[in-house]
A and B are shown apart, each in its own frame.
Chain A
Amino acid sequence: MSAAPDLITLNHRRDIRNRWLLSLPALLIILLAATGPLLIVLIYSFLTPGDYGDVKWLFSTDAWVNVLFQRDIFDDTLSLADAHISIFLRSINLSVMTTIATVVFGFPTAWFIATRPARTRELWLFLITIPFWTNILIRTFAMLEVIRNEGLVNMLLIKAGIINAPIQMLFTDGAVLAGMVYVYLPMMVLPVYASLEKLDFRLVEAAYDLYATPFRVLTKVILPIVKPGVVAGSILVFIPSLGAYVSPSILGGGKNLMIGNLIGLQFGQGRNWPLGSALSISLMIVVMIALLAYVRYAGKGANAHG
């Protein structure tokens, strides 16, 4: 009797050690591919911009000051950099909207797939991943083709006699949002599907049996249980949308800069690599704060239930 548990813990320990060894390659890659470049970016953010891009190896905190403040060219006084702040806010706004929209469209999609017979589910999942096969640029240009003034939607609407002149859809905030939602929707559908698939549908019946209307079954039983999937999906959508570059510049026409575009600009025409680096790290900090706040909020909801 007493030997068995010992054996189990022993095996368990060996298991854990083996798992650590197995994850070593992944850890190495993370160290080299993620931490390394990050370190370089961090160092660059404290250097002086070179004349034709690149950096001069002179320590300077100018880049960091310039993230939030601008220096008056005449009297050298500092004032808040409204442009940068409004770009940050616009990006956060776009990301939040994108996340909400992907939940709104992604949840029913995931529900639809999860409630199909087991055999056909794989086919639906496969269809969901098809957009991943195409480069994001091409997908975004395809979107442009659909919504531009001479594009598919406008042409059809005009042919159908619903409108006389094309509706301006391209180069609007709506176009950017639509492009983002299109690109990131699978990132929401997949984790939500994963948790819906594990949902015991008898719980839905139990709630239905206990006088919960269909809407309340959704809000009181299904959503609380699949919340981890929604949280994971939201993180997967929110983070990359904060740094979105392609959709805003192609579908938004670069009219309204997002952080991603601003950073891109510093490394390109702006020739201010330290500022680009400092902005990048600021973006990371924003992401981290947002994540912490979100996880804490989501966790609190779970505690209130459990």
Chain B
Amino acid sequence: MAPNNAVEIWRVTKIYGSGDGAVTAVNDVTLNIGTNEFFTLLGPSGCGKTSLLRLIAGFEYPASGDIILDGETITATPPYKRPINTVFQSYALFPHMTVAENIGFGLKMLDLPKAEIEPRVAEMLRLVRMEALASRPVSKLSGGQQQRVALARALAPCPKVLLLDEPLSALDYKLRKEMQVELKRLQAETGVTFIFVTHDQEEALTMSDRIAVMSGGKLLQVGGPREIYNHPANRFVASFIGEANFLDVTVTGETGEGLSLALASGETFTGPASDELSAGAKVTAMIRPEHVRLQPASGEAGGLTGTIENIAYIGTDTYYHVVISQGQALSVRLQNRPEDGFTLETGDRVSLSLPVSALRYLKD
């Protein structure tokens, strides 16, 4: 077993209920999470992120498969014997205790002497900048403060792995941005492996060392933020993370640069070379809106042309919805730069170019 894996999840399946009502929440997931990694489980609501996290925490037991922590199988170990702590989405702070008592709870349950608990609690209070509120009852805290206490409480016993289930989803935008930075800082300072759950792709991309994309209980792709964004494994990943244009094309032949691709309407453009595709193959080509080049149509022949159907201005950028032919349209995102000498209006003819290096072939 590789010693640099904090958690190994091996062919884990979780089924709720039985018979007709059975729901397979986690479907044959195999996953390795490295020590000291900031690892994110990303996927739409209901895809099984929480279930996978609860399996790691020990609140649920898998129907099959194994969970290994630091080389030790913990599949059947109860939560109170796993050196893994959780930051709950609802924080779940103990209402009958003060901030300091909440933070010290895990240490107390580990039967550490008071002389060890007190400095550790003080250290945690400092870490989350809550020293001033140590003796406050938790019911008198704001959402952001409760969040910090929940973090400190989970980190106090020095767990090997910290699980965070959408910890920022209840916070407003500004606070969420602050807490994202805060979480990264905490992870760097403590060196604890973080397994973070979110349905927010932007949050996942900015915070994670690696991301696992899930859908319908299945693991679709695991990789670094750039890898996931630039080389999505399939159509779902491409559309869930960032925005994507999908073009149904037929390979018509090879050119010096790569493959020659044709849209149903007959227009052609060049895509990257691929060993798996030969002339006649049908495939989905994907390109991100910000990678498409767009210019007012010139007289020159060749390349794709289209008509602007819709314009959405979002400040930094503008989105253009360009119809190429019947049933085939592209979303194009251009940065608003004052030096660009052209303005485009709805109904304008434009020429589009799709850089070969930005095009991807996708499985469905």
CB nearest to A211 among chain B residues: B109
CB of B95 within 8 A of CB of A211, answer no
Q: Are B79 and A209 in contact (CB under 8 A)?
A: yes
Interface stretch, picked from A127-135, A180-188, A200-208, A283-291, is: A200-208
Contact present for B90 and A210 (CB under 8 Å): no
Chain B contact-residue range equals 20 to 34
**B94 pairs with A203, CB closer than 8 A:** yes
Across the interface, which residues of B come within 8 angstroms of A212, CB to CB? 80, 105, 109
Main secondary structure of the interface of A (DSSP, over half): helix
A211 touches B106 (CB 8 A): yes
Residue A19 lies at the interface, judged by CB distance under 8 Å to chain B: no
A216 to B81, CA, bound (A): 13
Give bound CA distance, A214 to B57, whole Å.
Answer: 16
With an 8 Å Cβ cutoff, the count of chain A residues facing the other chain is 21
A301 → chain B closest CB, angstroms? 10
B92 and A216 contacting across the interface, CB-CB below 8 Å? no
- Set of chain A residues within 8 Å of B110, measured between Cβ atoms: 211
Q: Does B272 contact A (CB under 8 A)?
A: no
* A306 and B92 within 8 A (CB): no
Nearest-neighbour CB distance to chain B for A302, whole angstroms, equals 7
Residue of A nearest to B106 (CB): A210
Question: What is the chain B residue whose CB lies nearest that of A213?
Answer: B80
> Are A224 and B96 neighbours in the complex by a CB distance under 8 Å?
yes
B80 engages A202 (CB within 8 Å): no
Which chain B residue lies CB-closest to A227? Answer: B96
Report how many A-B pairs have Cβ atoms within 8 Å.
Answer: 70
Contact A210:B59 (CB < 8 A) given known A305-B97, A306-B137: no
Judge whether B236 is part of the interface by a CB distance below 8 angstroms.
no
Inter-chain contacts of B109 with A (CB < 8 A): 207, 210-213, 216, 220
* One of B80, B86, B98 near A306 (C-beta < 8 A): B98
Chain A positions within 8 Å of B78 at CB level: 208
Residues on B with C-beta less than 8 A from A208 are 59, 78-80
A202 touching B96 in the complex, CB below 8 Å, given contacts A210-B109, A212-B109: no
Task: Report A80 CB to chain B, min CB distance, Å.
Answer: 44
Q: B43 at interface (Cβ–Cβ under 8 A)?
A: no
Q: Which residues of B contact A225 (CB under 8 A)?
A: 94-96
Q: Which residues of A contact B93 (CB under 8 A)?
A: 206
In the assembled complex, the CB of A105 is this many whole angstroms from the nearest CB of chain B, namely 25
Question: Is B167 an interface residue when CB atoms closer than 8 A count as contact?
Answer: no
Q: Indicate whether A221 reaches chain B with its CB closer than 8 angstroms.
A: yes
Q: Which of B78, B96, B106, B110 has most A Cβ within 10 Å?
A: B96
Contacts of B85 in A (CB 8 A): 209-210
The answer on a CB contact under 8 Å between A210 and B153 is yes
Chain A nearest Cβ from B136, distance in angstroms: 11
Contacts of B57 in A (CB 8 A): 209
Mask of B101-127 contacts with A, CB within 8 angstroms, 1/0:
100011001100000000000000000
Q: Are A206 and B88 in contact (CB under 8 A)?
A: yes
Contact B96 A200 (CB under 8 A): no
7 tightest A-B contacts by CB? A210-B106, A211-B109, A206-B92, A202-B92, A212-B109, A305-B96, A208-B79
- Name 26 A/B residue pairs within 8 A (Cβ), A-sorted: A200-B90, A202-B88, A202-B90, A202-B92, A203-B94, A205-B88, A205-B92, A206-B86, A207-B109, A208-B78, A208-B80, A209-B79, A209-B80, A209-B84, A209-B86, A210-B80, A210-B106, A211-B110, A212-B105, A212-B109, A214-B80, A220-B105, A225-B95, A225-B96, A305-B97, A306-B98
